[in-house]
């Protein structure tokens, strides 16, 4: 099971962002349903007990709700090739604080701490992965959408996602949610056991789709 932690993007904003990457030939556009802002990539987890430990760590990660707004585009890559086209967000200190708290919580999970990367948090929403588009074309899209701005949206929850490989590309499935309105047990307790959110998951193959 391949896991990561992220913030979902409202459906209307994702629908507005989708045509940008879709219009670039050679770019594999992220579907609106898959759009998210990654807080921390975890990687492969093969054990339900480890997944439950991750769930407990995230469940006790507190933050205050905050507003986010998409503003402009960017790209990751080299001087020769663009790798990822992404949407930026306006600077938000509470977002950075949340990312650091999520990272700290995950590093306290001994079973996965060794596989976590230590790259600096760079908030972005992936719009497309480059297959054959020239860097100049992707760069032009970034320039053309320099004034891109979404409505502000309220972030009250973040999610633990599973990445599922399909013939049509990856599908990101929400495994658990954390934040406002979520019942948090006392620190010495967990929500594992009869209510284990991973009880029905076959970790060898992932959920059927």
Is 161 within a domain? yes
pLDDT band at 178 (very low <50, low <70, confident <90, very high): very high
Cβ distance 82 to 135 under 8 Å?
yes
Torsion sign over Cα 187, 157, 4, 92 = negative
190 in any annotated domain: no
Question: Which CATH number does the domain housing residue 79 bear?
Answer: 3.90.1140.10
Tell me if 203 is assigned to some domain: no
| Mean pLDDT confidence for 194-208 | 55
Give the pLDDT score at 184.
62
User: What pLDDT is stored for residue 180 in this prediction?
Assistant: 77
- For the stretch 6-37, pLDDT in tens is 999 999 999 999 999 999 999 999 999 999 99
User: For residue 191, is it within any domain?
Assistant: no
Note whether residue 186 is domain-resident: no
pLDDT band at 199 (very low <50, low <70, confident <90, very high): low
In a domain, 187, yes or no: no
Evaluate if pTM is beyond 0.85.
yes
Q: Domain containing 160: what range?
A: 2-179
Residue percentage of the chain with pLDDT more than 70: 86
d(CA 85, CA 88): 10
Q: How many structural domains does the chain have?
A: 1
Q: Which of 53-57, 61-65, 165-169 has the lowest mean pLDDT?
A: 165-169
């Amino acid at each position: 099971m391949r896991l990561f932690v992220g913030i979902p993007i409202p459906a209307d904003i994702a629908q507005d962002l989708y045509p940008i990457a879709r219009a670039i030939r050679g770019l594999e556009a992220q579907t609106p349903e898959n759009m998210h802002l990654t807080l921390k990539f975890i990687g492969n987890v093969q054990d339900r007990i480890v997944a439950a430990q991750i769930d407990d760590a995230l469940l006790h990660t507190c933050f205050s709700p905050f507003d986010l707004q998409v503003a402009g585009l960017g790209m990751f890559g080299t001087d020769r090739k663009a790798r990822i086209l992404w949407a930026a967000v306006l600077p938000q200190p509470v977002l950075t604080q949340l990312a650091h708290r999520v990272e700290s919580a995950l590093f306290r999970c001994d079973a996965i701490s060794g596989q976590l990367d230590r790259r600096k948090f760079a908030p972005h929403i992936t719009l497309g992965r480059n297959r054959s588009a020239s860097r100049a074309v992707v760069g032009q899209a970034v320039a053309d959408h320099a004034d891109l701005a979404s409505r502000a949206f309220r972030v009250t929850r973040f999610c633990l996602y599973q990445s599922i490989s399909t013939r049509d590309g990856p599908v990101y499935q929400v495994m658990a949610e954390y934040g406002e309105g979520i019942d948090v047990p006392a620190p010495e307790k967990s929500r594992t056991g009869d209510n284990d959110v991973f009880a029905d998951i076959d970790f060898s193959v992932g959920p059927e789709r």
